[in-house]
Amino acid sequence: MSFNAVTFAVFLALLVLITGMGFVASRWRKAADADNLDEWALGGRTFGPFITWFLLGGDLYSAYTLIAVPAALYSMGAFGFYAVPNAIVLYALGFLFLPKLVSLAHQKGYVTLTDFVNDRFGSKSLGLAITLTGLLATLPYLALQLVGLEVIFGSLGLGGSSNWLMRDLPLLIAFGVLAAYTYSSGLRAPALIAFVKDGLTYLVVIVAVIYLPIKLGGFDTIFSSASQALATKSTTPPTADPAVAVNPNVYMTLALGSGMAFFLYPHAITGVFASRGAKTVRRNMSVLPIYTVLLGFVGLLGLMALAVGIEPQGGNPQYVVPQLLAEFFPPWFVGVAFAAIAMSALVPAAIMAIAAGNLVSRNLYRQFARGPVSTRSETLVSKVVSVLVKVGALVFVLTLDTTFALNFQLLGGIWILQTLPTVLFGLFTKRFADRHALLAGLLVSVVYGTWAAYEVKTSTGAPFGGSTATPFFLSSPIYIAISALVINLAVVVLGSLLVHLLRPSRREDRTRITAPSAAEAVGSQHS
């Protein structure tokens, strides 16, 4: 796509605006103690329903979501709508367990999910496994935000230079600024920017789904033309199995597994723990489904691009939304739309970096330090790590094919879902679940899920070609995370039962050995 001065000027002006907001955010709801991790990483845990709604919405609907969902519909048709029931599942599950978790976090000072696990089960090994799983799942997710930002810069005409420095300079500047204001303001920065980001996103999507159908002859024409386009040309990605796009088991398990996994991600937990309390979270789980309507509208843009015959730049379907907007709207509006998508990368990227910093500072540095750790040093480590993970994600995206980032993110979804049994058993029935069984279930399911994903081949024979496979206990493919979760639960239940069966006999053995006889007890009393 060619460079347009008006589009770029509007885009740049809005990004400068949110950059200023990011630095000013440190004075917004000013912290009583800026060196406290609760203040820097969780905004003092004082965000009410209104702020939390924007913060969680900004966290949920990232740039990659706004680009990838329409791209999936463009490539595979209605199968891409799995993201809508996925969102419904995640709010229902969130309503079930998040209010109780947030109440405990306020009472006991949890900053991460590992804090909760350590407190409930008292196992450093299990806590370490939860920490490492969270970090490994977060880093590729952060890298995907860079991929979304890269698409926008390419759509602005800024990525075509053969010189690597000129080609990647916009991305370097954007994430340098992001790192600076995140380090300075912590979670307050993405919370404040989320107001602008969500407002612009709603504006762009609503205008697009009203104006484009009028321009294209109505939704009947759009669906008919899109259907014909799917039937006459192969748009399914070469790495995908065509049978997957028509398999209801894949559709249902992908929606279910993705929905169950989201609020287990460290960045989602960070946004939730920043809320004022259980009542705030419960209200948000009730009204956040409004975003699902927006997500459905975003998906329709992919069908509209298919209907009008958009040929994506470089054959990459991720460019279909930017190209559709550029073709039908004036340059200034395109600048607003591109800025909204860019903000949708910057907001969740900041939260993800903060969440990764929290895991390292609280659950690696503090927990395994030999001596006492001050609040100030703990916060400093979290700040430094938040910058380093951004640098790592940047290097990852600039040096490797973006397919690697996507594959690792698919693995991240498989891995993070395996922490669900630990969280739910810890919240609702800790007495039944044994910590050793939970650790064994987590390790076995992560190994199985990784192996199953590795075995999925691309058209070239390379591994990690997708996230669906046929497990040994079924005859049709499903989302690998769900089959791994079934194995996880089986190991946890059987392992816990075995431990509980063995424990009484152990107590009896100890009682026989240590308990004094009646005569000995009487003798001891007389003496």
Cα–Cα distance measured from residue 500 to residue 342, given in angstroms and rounded to the nearest whole number: 52
- Domains in the chain, ordered, with CATH? 5-26+33-505 (1.20.1730.10)
CB 129 within 8 A of CB 363: no
Instruction: Tell me the two tokens of residue 465.
Output: 């070609």
> How many other C-beta atoms can be found within 10 angstroms of the C-beta atom of residue 329?
20
Cross-strand bridge partners of residue 47: 275
Confidence at residue 514, expressed as pLDDT on a 0 to 100 scale: 46
Confidence at residue 460, expressed as pLDDT on a 0 to 100 scale: 63
Short-list 403, 356, 351, 5, CA closest to 186: 351
| 3-state SS string for 391-402 | HHHHHHHHHCCH
CB 302 within 8 A of CB 98: no
Cross-strand bridge partners of residue 275: 47
Cα–Cα distance measured from residue 228 to residue 242, given in angstroms and rounded to the nearest whole number: 17
**Distance of alpha carbon 243 from the chain centroid:** 27
Instruction: Tell me the two tokens of residue 403.
Output: 């397919």
CB 175 within 8 A of CB 395: no
Cα–Cα distance measured from residue 324 to residue 82, given in angstroms and rounded to the nearest whole number: 22
Cα–Cα distance measured from residue 443 to residue 418, given in angstroms and rounded to the nearest whole number: 9
> How many other C-beta atoms can be found within 10 angstroms of the C-beta atom of residue 509?
10
Cα–Cα distance measured from residue 58 to residue 390, given in angstroms and rounded to the nearest whole number: 18
Cross-strand bridge partners of residue 468: 479
Confidence at residue 166, expressed as pLDDT on a 0 to 100 scale: 55
Short-list 155, 146, 303, CA closest to 230: 303
Per-residue pLDDT of the chain (527 residues; tens, 9 = 90+): 678 899 999 999 999 999 999 999 888 877 777 788 899 999 989 899 999 998 888 888 888 788 888 988 888 888 888 888 888 888 988 998 999 999 999 999 999 999 999 999 999 999 999 999 999 999 888 888 888 888 888 888 886 555 555 567 778 888 888 889 999 899 999 999 999 999 999 999 999 999 999 999 999 999 999 989 888 865 444 445 555 556 788 889 989 998 899 999 999 999 999 999 999 999 999 888 888 888 889 999 999 999 998 888 777 888 899 999 999 999 999 999 999 999 998 999 999 999 999 999 999 999 888 888 898 999 999 999 999 998 888 887 777 776 666 677 788 899 999 999 999 999 987 678 899 999 999 999 999 999 999 888 776 666 777 888 889 888 889 999 999 999 999 999 999 999 888 876 554 444 444 444 444 444 444 44
Cα–Cα distance measured from residue 498 to residue 490, given in angstroms and rounded to the nearest whole number: 12
**Distance of alpha carbon 373 from the chain centroid:** 30
Instruction: Tell me the two tokens of residue 519.
Output: 């005569």
Short-list 505, 403, 416, 507, CA closest to 464: 403
| Amino acid in the structure at residue 104 | L
> Nearest 5°: phi and psi at 110?
-65, 135
Short-list 253, 251, 317, 244, CA closest to 82: 251
Confidence at residue 504, expressed as pLDDT on a 0 to 100 scale: 64
Q: Between the CA of residue 308 and those of 75, 93, 221, 326, what are the distances in Å?
A: 14, 38, 10, 13
